[in-house]
């Protein structure tokens, strides 16, 4: 009797155990399933990474392509093309390329060995131009510029007024100026003025350093000028600021070296572009130079750069105004006679005054002070005027 009871109890226990086991297995199955899903997702991610790596590997093993510029069409399959080195080639076109879209000045990708046109580079801003666009004019307000009130007024008349109220000019029958030349000694605030105008009218600011164009992009500089103007036309209002214009706008003497020819080609393109846009276009050109005497008269003739604005070395009162701008940012102690310090700053420009304030701050730091005294400014003025006379 007892053994039958035991048997029944054993059977009952094993059923209970079975249920426990089943529950355990069910939970385990769920965990395994979630792990499987996780692993599958990881595999997909790894597949994507593998694809990218393979693509990059193929790209690095691919034969590179050159960028060229179409000069002229000879027939439906032959074009004269300018390679980046400036050399001209007669090239053919790959069948897959849409030949109707190939025009003069179109940029194309070329096979590096056969120079066949492989692809059209349409509607893309040249990377060189793109780097010029990244120039941020910064926040320059009127109160950041000292001693140049008259110049600021004239600059506004030439740049701001035609952009916002062109009818004033047309009503009076006056030709709208296309641009202005800022000339004067270095460090007097020519770039600062251009930045101010650009910031003030919220226009796109394209800064070109003329010497940089001819130095860096030999054979390409004329094209760069062309592209800058076509970009400006698409993104007006736009201010094109050309610094150190004397590097390409110098008087033409002879066509001596290839570098001279390059400079002349660039100047011709610049003149051509300046003639090409009308005054009503929202594009204004500001050029700056320290050497107005060497500029080609063709550049300065009315209709191109109509206005010339002299930015002189600051007078004593202007020096004090510039001083006040940079002086405000310094921590000071005691009485400081700015007139006395300005007397020490003979032939100083705006940049020197800024430098003077920094130097005075450094003298204070060397003396383990966190404020500037009059004697620091005097020492700094003497130091800078000594280094200017070396
Ligand atoms: P360069 O001909 O050498 O290019 P520049 O005339 O364009 O010189 P800027 O680059 O405008 O001179 O000036 C250099 C710096 O000097 C400016 O960033 C500014 O800090 C200071 N500066 C020059 N002139 C003034 C001024 N009138 N008021 C305030 N700061 C000035």
User: Which of 328, 336, 387 is closest to 354 using CA atoms?
Assistant: 328
CB 343 within 8 A of CB 313: no
CB 146 less than 6 A from any atom of ligand 1: yes
Residues 218 and 86: beta-carbon distance below 8 Å: yes
Q: Given pLDDT bands bounded at 50, 70 and 90, which one contains residue 21? A: confident
pLDDT of residue 253: 57
Segment 166-193, tens digit of pLDDT: 788 778 877 788 888 999 999 999 989 9
Kindly report the protein residue whose alpha carbon is nearest to atom 27 of ligand 1: 146
Quick one: which atom of ligand 1 is closest to the CA of 318?
A: 27
Superfamily, domain 129-310: P-loop containing nucleotide triphosphate hydrolases (3.40.50.300)
| Residue from 193, 350, 354 whose mutation best tests the ligand 1 pocket (most atoms within 8 A of CB) | 350
Q: Where are the domains of the chain?
A: 1-62, 66-124, 129-310, 316-388
The pLDDT confidence band at residue 13, using thresholds 50, 70 and 90, is low
Where do the H-state alpha helices sit in 62-108? none
Which CATH code fits 316-388?
Answer: 1.10.8.60
User: Ligand 1 in contact with 274 (CB < 6 A)?
Assistant: no
CB neighbours of 43 closer than 8 A, spacing ≥ 6?
Answer: none
DSSP state of 99: G
Q: What is the pLDDT of residues 360-370, one digit of tens each?
A: 999 999 988 88
Q: Which two tokens stand for residue 10?
A: 């054993």
Q: Is the pLDDT of residue 33 over 60?
A: yes
Q: What token pair was written down for 93?
A: 């076109």
Q: Give 202-269 as a 3 state SS string.
A: CCEEEEEEHHHHHHHCCCCHHHHHHHHHHHHHHCCCEEEEEECCHHHHECCCCCCCHHHHHHHHHHHH
pLDDT at 93 over 80: yes
List the residue whose alpha carbon is closest to atom 20 of ligand 1: 351
**pLDDT of 281 strictly over 70:** no
Which of 138, 287, 351 has the most ligand 1 atoms within 8 A of CB, as the residue to mutate? 351
- Quick one: CA dihedral 158, 159, 165, 171, positive or negative? positive
Residue 388 structure tokens: 């200017």
CA nearest ligand 1 atom 9, residue: 189
Dist CA 227 CA 126 (whole Å): 8
Confidence band (pLDDT; 50, 70, 90) for 140?
confident
Residue 237 token pair: 């209002």
CA 354 to ligand 1 centroid distance, Å: 9
Is the full-model pTM beyond 0.75?
Answer: no
> Cα-flanking dihedrals φ and ψ of residue 74, to 5°?
-95, -55
Structure tokens at 50: 């593998």
Ligand 1 binding pocket includes 211 (Cβ within 6 Å) = no
Closest residue to atom 3 of ligand 1, CA basis: 186
Cis peptide before 373 (omega within 30 of 0): no
Average pLDDT over residues 210-217: 72
Of the candidates 374, 328, 379, 319, the one whose C-alpha atom is nearest the C-alpha of residue 351 is 319
Indicate which atom in ligand 1 lies nearest the CA of residue 351.
16
Q: How far apart are CA 221 and CA 215, in angstroms?
A: 9
Q: CA-to-CA distance for 248 and 259, rounded, in angstroms?
A: 11
Q: Which CATH class is domain 66-124?
A: mainly beta
pLDDT in tens, 267-279: 888 888 888 766 5
The confidence score (pLDDT) of residue 385 equals: 86
Mean pLDDT value of segment 51-79:
82
Residue 142 confidence (pLDDT): 86
């Amino acid at each position: 009797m007892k053994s039958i009871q035991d048997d029944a109890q054993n059977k009952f226990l094993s059923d209970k155990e079975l249920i426990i086991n089943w529950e355990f297995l069910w939970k385990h199955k769920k965990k395994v399933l979630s792990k499987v899903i996780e692993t599958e997702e990881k595999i997909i991610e790894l597949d994507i990474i593998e694809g990218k790596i393979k693509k990059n590997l193929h790209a690095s093993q691919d034969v590179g392509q050159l960028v060229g510029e179409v000069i002229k069409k000879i027939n439906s399959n032959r074009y004269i093309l300018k390679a980046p080195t400036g050399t001209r080639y007669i090239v053919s076109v790959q069948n897959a390329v849409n030949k109707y879209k190939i025009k003069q000045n179109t940029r194309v990708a070329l096979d590096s060995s056969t120079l066949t046109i492989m692809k059209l580079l349409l509607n893309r801003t040249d990377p060189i131009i793109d780097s010029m666009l990244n120039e941020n004019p910064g926040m320059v307000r009127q109160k950041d510029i000292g001693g140049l009130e008259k110049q600021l007024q004239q600059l506004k008349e030439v740049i701001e007024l035609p952009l916002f109220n062109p009818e004033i000019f047309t009503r009076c029958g006056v030709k709208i100026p296309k641009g202005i030349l800022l000339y004067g000694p270095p460090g007097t605030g020519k770039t600062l003025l251009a930045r101010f105008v650009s910031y003030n009218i919220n226009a796109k600011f394209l800064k070109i350093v003329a010497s940089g164009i001819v130095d860096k992009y030999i054979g390409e500089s004329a094209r760069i000028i062309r592209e800058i103007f076509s970009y400006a036309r698409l993104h007006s209002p736009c201010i094109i600021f050309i610094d150190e214009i004397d590097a390409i706008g110098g008087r033409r003497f002879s066509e001596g070296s290839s570098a001279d020819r390059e400079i002349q080609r660039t100047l011709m393109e610049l003149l051509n572009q300046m003639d090409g846009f009308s005054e009503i276009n929202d594009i204004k050109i500001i050029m700056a130079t320290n050497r107005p005497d060497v500029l080609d008269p063709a550049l300065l003739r009315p209709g191109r750069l109509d206005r010339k604005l002299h930015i002189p070395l600051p007078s004593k009162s202007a020096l004090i105004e510039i001083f006040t701008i940079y002086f405000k940012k310094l921590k000071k102690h005691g009485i400081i006679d700015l007139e006395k310090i300005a007397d020490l700053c003979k032939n100083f420009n705006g940049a020197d005054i800024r430098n003077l304030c920094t130097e005075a701050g450094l003298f204070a730091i060397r003396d383990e002070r966190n404020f500037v005294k009059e004697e620091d400014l005097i020492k700094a003025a003497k130091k800078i005027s000594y280094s200017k006379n070396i």
